[in-house]
Amino acid sequence: MVQAAIVMKWKFIMANNQKFQKYINYIDRDEATRTKEFHQYNILENDGYNHYMEDPEKSTGLFTENKDQLSFDERQQMKKLFQIAQKNDSLMWQDVVSFDTNWLTEVGLYDRENKVLNEPKLKNAIRIAMKEQLNAENLKNSAVWTAAIHYNELHHIHVHIAIVEPNPTRKYGTFSRKDGSTYEARKGYRSKRNVDRFRSRVMSQLLDRDQPLAQISSMIRNQIGKQKGNMRQLPDSELRYLYNQIYQSLPPDRSKWKYNMNTMNSVRPKIDRFNKMYLDTYEKDEFNELQNLLNENSAFYMTLYGEGTKEYQRANDFKVNKNAELYSLLGNSLLKEMSNQYQEEHGIPTKNSSVDWDKLMSKQYQKNSSGPVQAADLSKVKKALKKDFQSVKNQQIYLNNMREREQQDQGFSR
- Listed in sequence order, the residues at least 6 apart from 364 whose beta carbon sits closer than 8 Å to its beta carbon are 402, 406
Taking residues 398-407, what's their average pLDDT?
A: 51
pLDDT higher than 60, residue 393: no
Taking residues 383-408, what's their average pLDDT?
A: 50
Q: How many other CB atoms are there within 10 angstroms of residue 67's CB atom?
A: 14
Instruction: Say how far apart CA 82 and CA 211 lie, in whole Å.
Output: 38
Q: Which of 156, 153, 20 is CA-nearest to residue 88?
A: 20
What pLDDT does 293 receive? 93
Taking residues 390-412, what's their average pLDDT?
A: 49
Instruction: Say how far apart CA 104 and CA 109 lie, in whole Å.
Output: 5
Percent residues over pLDDT 90 in the chain: 42
Q: List, as one string, the DSSP characters of 257-287.
A: --TTSGGGTTTHHHHHHHHHHHHHHH-HHHH
> pLDDT (tens digit, 9 = 90+) per residue, 5-28?
888 888 998 998 888 888 887 676
Instruction: Say how far apart CA 316 and CA 322 lie, in whole Å.
Output: 11
pLDDT higher than 50, residue 412: no
- H or E, element range at 295: helix 284-305
CB 335 within 8 A of CB 257: yes
Residue environment code for 359-379, b if the CB has 16+ CB neighbours within 10 A, otherwise e: ebbbebbeeebeeebeeebbe
Taking residues 190-194, what's their average pLDDT?
A: 89
CB 246 within 8 A of CB 330: no
CB 282 within 8 A of CB 225: no
Give the start-end residues of each E strand in 152-292. 156-164, 172-176, 182-186
Q: How far is CA 341 from CA 97, 144, 230, 335, in A?
A: 57, 60, 11, 10
Predicted confidence band at 404 (pLDDT cuts at 50, 70, 90)? low
Q: How many helices (H) and strands (E) does the chain have?
A: 15, 9
Q: Where are the domains of the chain?
A: 6-208, 215-345, 357-413
- H or E, element range at 100: strand 92-100
> pLDDT (tens digit, 9 = 90+) per residue, 257-302?
999 999 999 999 999 999 999 999 999 999 999 999 999 888 887 7
> pLDDT (tens digit, 9 = 90+) per residue, 333-375?
999 999 999 998 888 876 655 555 455 555 554 545 444 445 4
What pLDDT does 100 receive? 87
CB 43 within 8 A of CB 11: yes
Q: Which of 121, 79, 76 is CA-nearest to residue 99?
A: 121
Vertex 10: Cα angle to 8 and 13 (nearest 5): 170
φ, ψ of residue 306 in degrees (nearest 5): 95, 140
pLDDT higher than 60, residue 248: yes
> pLDDT (tens digit, 9 = 90+) per residue, 36-58?
555 555 655 544 333 333 445 56
CATH architecture of structural domain 6-208: 2-Layer Sandwich (3.30)
* SS3 at position 357: helix
Q: How far is CA 328 from CA 94, 214, 220, 246, in A?
A: 43, 19, 10, 15
Instruction: Say how far apart CA 225 and CA 234 lie, in whole Å.
Output: 13
φ, ψ of residue 303 in degrees (nearest 5): -70, -40
> pLDDT (tens digit, 9 = 90+) per residue, 59-106?
677 899 999 988 888 989 999 999 999 999 999 999 989 898 888 998
Average pLDDT value for the chain: 80
Longest dimension (CA), the chain: 107
Q: How far is CA 210 from CA 104, 215, 299, 326, in A?
A: 19, 9, 15, 20
**What is the distance, to the nearest Å, from the Cα of residue 88 to the centroid of all Cα atoms in its chain?**
36
Helical axes 357-366 vs 395-408, angle rounded to 10°: 60
- Listed in sequence order, the residues at least 6 apart from 397 whose beta carbon sits closer than 8 Å to its beta carbon are none
